[in-house]
Amino acid sequence: MAELSVMDKLVSLCKRRGFIFQSSEIYGGLGSVWDYGPLGVALKNNIKAAWWRAMVQAREDIEGLDAAILMHPEVWVASGHVAGFTDPLVDCRTCKGRFRADHLQGAACPRKPSKHPGEHTECDLTAARQFNLMFKTFMGPMEESAAVVYLRPETAQGIYVNYLNVLQSSRQKIPFGIAQIGKVFRNEITPGNFTFRTREFEQMEMQFFVTPGTDEEWFETWRGLRMEWHRSLGLAAEKLRWHQHGPEELAHYARAAYDIEYQFPFGWQEIEGIHNRTDFDLRRHQEHSGKKLEYFDQAANARYLPYIVETSVGADRVALTVLVDAYREETVAGETRVVLGFHPAVAPIKAAVLPLVKKDGMPERAQAVYQDVRRRWSAFYDDSGAIGRRYRRMDEAGTPFCITIDGETLSDGTVTLRDRDSMAQERVAADRVVEWLGSRIDG
């Protein structure tokens, strides 16, 4: 049997420990749609909360927003998505495969031996057609008379069309930002690589409105802040890099664009984009809606359309990056140990409490410690199986600390604190456990 790839092993671990399940698995699954299990939803919530904290709660110049997924269809005409949010698609008349014309070198023809589409003599590719990635549906009773509406492919437009409402109700002044977390949908031709590219995903986008002329400086500021944020999640610095969009790569709305890329097992890939969108979006919405979207700058006594610096990142993609970055296998005493070495800030469970045996009063002592710990952090109580197996389960769940109640606890009131990464064990008085954990979890 061929050795499993790291990604295959991660997919398997994610199912086993309840991070990520295939959607509708009992029905054979739905292509490239995934569900988050108990540990997965905790991980993703921790990531979203960290982003919201950094963007909205810690700053006075950014407001939160939660615009709906469904929007007026004219929004997507103005934004350029109806005309241009397309990928070029080719079909193979022979094998009936469907591929992105611009990704043929990354795809495999279903015929054997494995080659790229177009490389077998039998391959018969059609000319490329433009395929729009927006999902559409029908709103209002009766399909024939209903309005065609789209599932938004990005949250940004919800921010642009609401910007004056936010400005007026919050009494912010430029420069200020609006941040949003929410689901988006893209009917990708070739999704894949686990949760890296999926048809339904959650974006975390922030649009920062600035005076024209100050946009380049703000662009640099946001580049710095966003790279710092990814590092604060514990991602390895050497696996993060910048990719600057060249003139041919730049989207129609952008004057400058940098991606933060991460080195996945399947190559360097974008995890976040920082874009200088100029006044492109507000100008388009002003034209299409017929509503003035200018900002009146009291200090300068001037009216203008603000420029926008955007930071756009996928919550699912960050969760996958955190999982990939944390995954490691080690050989310990001749056995393989699988560890998710999460930073405590994102770990779904911060500490586990384990009575060595289910007798001699250990469960009672363990419960007391457990109740103390879970008042402050997400904690887990486990009293079943050999202690070694319980440690391994917590290693796989990415739990940074294990607290073991044993015979010594009964005699001297100390417990064993085990560090997931070093596996070092230390004895600490039971009534100092919270303090010990606090300095390591909350910094």
| Binding positions for its own copies, 29-58, rule CB under 8 A | 29-31, 33-42, 44-45, 57
Minimum distance from residue 185 beta carbon to its own copies (Å): 8
Q: Closer to its own copies at the Cβ: 124 or 249?
A: 124
Nearer to its own copies (CB atom), residue 219 or residue 342:
342
Report DSSP state, residue 127.
Answer: P
Check if the beta carbon of residue 418 is closer than 8 Å to that of residue 402.
yes
Q: Locate tokens 């457990």: which residue?
A: 370
Rounded least distance, CB 56 to its own copies, Å: 8
> Which of 4, 5, 12, 24 lies at the binding interface for its own copies (CB under 8 A)?
24
Q: Of 218, 308, 326, which is closest to residue 262 (Cα–Cα)?
A: 326
Alpha-carbon distances, residue 75 vs 294, 313, 436 (angstroms): 18, 21, 53
Q: How far apart are CA 20 and CA 397, in angstroms?
A: 12
Q: Is residue 64 within the footprint of its own copies (CB under 8 A)?
A: yes
Site for its own copies in 403-422 (CB under 8 A): none
Q: Closer CB to its own copies, residue 69 or residue 368?
A: 69
Least distance to its own copies, CB of residue 260, Å: 24
Alpha-carbon gap, residue 100 to 222, rounded angstroms: 32
Of the candidates 75, 40, 27, the one whose C-alpha atom is nearest the C-alpha of residue 397 is 40
| Site mask for its own copies (CB under 8 A), range 308-337, x = bound | ------------------------------
Residues 204-243 that bind its own copies (CB under 8 A): none
**In the bound complex, what is the minimum distance in angstroms from residue 24's beta carbon to its own copies?**
3
Using the minimum distance from each CB to its own copies, give the nearer residue, 33 or 368: 33
Residues in region 132-171 near its own copies by CB under 8 A: 135-142, 149, 151, 158, 161-162, 164-166, 169-171
| Footprint on residues 170-209 left by its own copies (CB under 8 A) | 170-171, 183, 185, 187, 189, 199-200
Residue choice 7, 108, 111, 131 for contact with its own copies (CB under 8 A): 131
**Would you state the structure tokens that stand for residue 103, as one six-digit string?**
């990704």
Specify the residue, 128 or 428, whose C-beta has the smaller distance to its own copies: 128
Site membership for its own copies, residue 71 (CB under 8 A)? yes
Count of residues in contact with its own copies, rule CB under 8 A: 76
**Closest alpha carbon to 42 in 322, 327, 383, 353:** 322
> Restricting to residues 261-300, which ones interact with its own copies according to CB under 8 A?
285, 288-289, 291, 293
Nearest to 212 by CA among 282, 274, 316, 140: 282
For the beta carbon of residue 171, count every other beta carbon within 10 angstroms: 7
Residue 70 or 251 with smaller CB distance to its own copies: 70
Q: Of 26-34, 229-237, 266-274, 294-302, which segment contacts its own copies by CB under 8 A?
A: 26-34
Dihedral sign for Cα atoms in the order 200, 63, 46, 239: positive
Query: How would you write 96-118 as a 3-class SS string?
Result: CCEEEHHHHHHCCCCCCCCCCCC
Which C-beta is closer to its own copies: that of 29 or that of 407? 29
Nearer to its own copies, 109 or 227 (CB): 109
Cα distance between residue 415 and residue 420, in whole Å = 16
Q: Write out the binding residues for its own copies, residues 84-103 only, by CB under 8 A.
A: 89, 98
CB of 257 to its own copies, least distance (A): 26
Q: Which of 6, 7, 9, 18 binds its own copies (CB under 8 A)?
A: 18
Which residues, 6 or more positions from 272, have their beta carbon under 8 angstroms from its beta carbon?
226, 230, 259, 260, 311, 312, 313
Among 2, 68, 127, 299, binds its own copies (CB under 8 A): 68
Sort 276 into a burial class: Cβ within 10 Å, 0-12 / 13-18 / 19+.
Answer: buried
Residues 356-395 that bind its own copies (CB under 8 A): 378, 381, 384
User: How far apart, in Å, are the Cα atoms of 199 and each of 189, 190, 262?
Assistant: 9, 10, 21
DSSP 192: B
Cα distance between the two ends of the chain: 45
Residue from 7, 69, 104, 428 in contact with its own copies (CB under 8 A)? 69
Residue (15 or 243) nearer to its own copies, CB: 15
Q: Whole-number minimum distance, CB 392 to its own copies, in Å?
A: 14
Tell me if 104 contacts its own copies by CB under 8 A.
no
CA atoms within 13 A on the CB side of 372: 17
* 82 lies in the binding site for its own copies (CB under 8 A): no
